Structure 1
């Protein structure tokens, strides 16, 4: 069962704000991994794509609801395998999101963690970023700089996922 957040400040849950601690912690870990890797400016859309893809991976892989208490180092191999190039990450995200939604429905309470994860997933699916075309066959003259090669519009998750994977490796 996923950690759904803490109720208010007194723990009673009497209509107070539910804090999405699981998602916020996953996003914090993803942000720190990407900043440590120093792969791109933290203000860029590419950074956001990497952070959101990695945060989704971290959040959705927490099947026991232990994320805020989890040691990051103990999870690195899991996150690496989930973000590997040959894995159907987007299918895994869709399946896990459906499972998490079903769990939230069973519990009948608010699921602010899930709402934030769904918003991140929507952004990753619906946003396209202009990125180097890694499938382009070099032709003609040499490419002088990284901005000079062919570019294609790419779904944000397809750009963010390898960035997240690389950031884990660099950690």
Structure 2
């Protein structure tokens, strides 16, 4: 089946996006960092799906076909200090310029909208970035101090850690 084939009724099938979601789901479930079905899991899964789908490689399709993807690109894109949200915005804008109906792009755009507009009441990490291996831990994080955080800010370090553990 072609990646954007139609299923008889003229409905385009977003195979690239579905492969990226599947890959992200497997990586997060394998890591066992958060319970599946939780808001944290969904945030991490959606961040990884966008990263896999918008990345340069065809790793999601390779993984879905039984091969092993090269995860270095995903680790690089999700690393702390990288402008991941700008990268996603630029990639989506570039694909929109290509024009034409694209069911993969529609799902990726909806996912990015959800990640930006959904806020999670979570521990306020501030600028500590305790998940970043090159930064020393400046003491413990006060887990009682909470803040409303966009879902992508919660999902990005979770996704990065899940790929690293995978």
Correspondence for 1:140: none
- Residue number in structure 2 paired with 1:96: 91
Structure having the higher Rg:
1
Q: Which runs of 5+ in 2 are unaligned?
A: 129-139
Distance 2:19 2:127 in 1: 38
SS in 2 for 1:149: coil
The equivalent of 2:125 in structure 1 is 134
Counterpart of 1:154 in 2: which secondary structure?
strand
Match of 2:105 in 1: 114
**Aligned counterparts of 2:60 and 2:39: Cα–Cα separation in 1:** 26
Q: 2 CA distance for matches of 1:27 and 1:147?
A: 33
Q: Which residue pairs with 1:162 in the alignment?
A: 157
8 A Cα contact 2:31 2:165, kept in partner: yes
What's the counterpart of residue 78 of structure 2?
A: 83
TM, length-normalised to structure 1: 0.80
In 1: Cα distance, 2:78 partner to 2:18 partner: 20
How many Å separate the matches in 2 of 1:21 and 1:46?
A: 25
| Stretch of structure 1 that moved more, 69-78 or 112-121 | 69-78
TM-score, normalised by the number of residues in structure 2: 0.82
**Other-structure match for 1:30:** 24
Deviations 1:11-33 (A, max 9, x none): xxxx6111000000000000110
The within-5 A match list for 1:54-93 is 54-62=48-56, 66=58, 69-71=61-63, 73-93=68-88
1:42 and 2:21 are equivalent in the alignment: no
Q: Distance in 2 between matches of 1:132 and 1:111?
A: 37
Q: Which residue of 2 aligns with 1:5?
A: 3
Aligned residue pair count: 151
Offset at residue 89 of structure 1 (A): 0.2
Name structure 1 gaps, 5 residues minimum: 138-142
Between the aligned partners of 1:126 and 1:25, the Cα distance in structure 2 is 24
